[in-house]
């Protein structure tokens, strides 16, 4: 650009006509204006580049925040892992299994129980043990890091649902084993056996 300016300056000095001189002056003004516009364009490009860089940093910062948030959803809060209903769920499962095992032992010792009755109770026990195992697996998934993406509230609500499910199984188990014990005692009274 400086070369063009120099060429026009030299031609200005050699041209003697007024029209040529006014044309050269107009062209020099245009060159000066173009130089100003080029400088403004360079400034605008720099501003745009800085803006795009800032947007990119914000976007990646936002992405990093989202990654941190979703990673935190995979981590189980220690307070959730110590939620009191978890212990109740485990205790009820243990009680269910022990109640059924004890009932099966009593039934096997009773000579009045038919093989089909014993088989029926064993089938109920097997199904109950399988359902308890599924419920415990659900619980383990909820309280294990990296298994699910859930907030603490969602985890607690899911644990509450699991607790209700296990409590239903526990209630059924108690009713079933009590009913079976009652039938055993009635059978024993019919045939005159005291105790078992």
Cα 117 to Cα 133, 180, 185, 188, 192, distances in angstroms: 24, 10, 15, 15, 21
Q: Are 170 and 91 in contact (CB under 8 A)?
A: no
Structural domain spans, the chain: 2-72, 77-191
List the chain pLDDT tens, one digit each, 196 residues.
555 555 555 555 555 567 767 777 777 777 777 777 677 777 767 776 776 676 666 666 555 665 555 555 667 778 888 889 989 999 999 999 999 999 999 888 888 788 998 999 999 999 999 999 999 999 988 888 877 778 888 989 999 999 999 999 999 999 999 998 888 888 777 776 544 4
Burial 135-169 (b: 16+ CB within 10 A, else e): beebbeebbeeeeeebeeeebbebbeebbebbeeb
CB neighbourhood size of 173 (10 A)? 23
Q: Would you state the pLDDT for residue 63?
A: 56
Say what the pTM is: 0.61
CA proximity to 12, closest of 2, 31, 27: 27
Distance between CA atoms of 15 and 21, rounded to whole angstroms?
7
Q: What is the DSSP string of 128-148?
A: HHHHHHHHHHHHHHHHSTTT-
For position 175, what pLDDT does the model report?
Answer: 96
The pLDDT, as a whole number, for residue 196 is: 46
């Amino acid at each position: 650009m400086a070369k063009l300016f120099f060429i026009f300056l030299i031609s200005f000095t050699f041209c003697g006509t007024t029209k040529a001189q006014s044309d050269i002056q107009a062209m020099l003004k245009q060159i000066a204006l173009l130089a100003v516009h080029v400088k403004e364009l360079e400034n605008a490009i720099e501003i745009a580049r800085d803006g795009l860089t800032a947007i990119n940093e914000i976007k990646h910062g936002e992405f990093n925040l989202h990654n941190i948030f979703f990673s935190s959803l995979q981590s189980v809060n220690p307070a959730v892992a110590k939620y009191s209903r978890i212990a109740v769920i485990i205790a009820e499962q243990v009680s269910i299994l022990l109640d059924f095992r004890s009932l099966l032992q009593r039934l096997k010792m009773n000579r009045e129980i038919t093989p089909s009755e014993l088989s029926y109770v064993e089938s109920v026990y097997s199904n109950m043990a399988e359902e308890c195992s599924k419920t415990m697996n659900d619980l383990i998934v909820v309280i294990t890091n990296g298994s699910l993406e859930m907030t603490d509230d969602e985890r607690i609500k899911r644990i509450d649902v699991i607790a209700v499910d296990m409590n239903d199984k526990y209630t059924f188990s108690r009713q079933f084993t009590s009913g079976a014990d009652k039938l055993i005692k009635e059978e024993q009274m019919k045939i005159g056996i005291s105790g078992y």
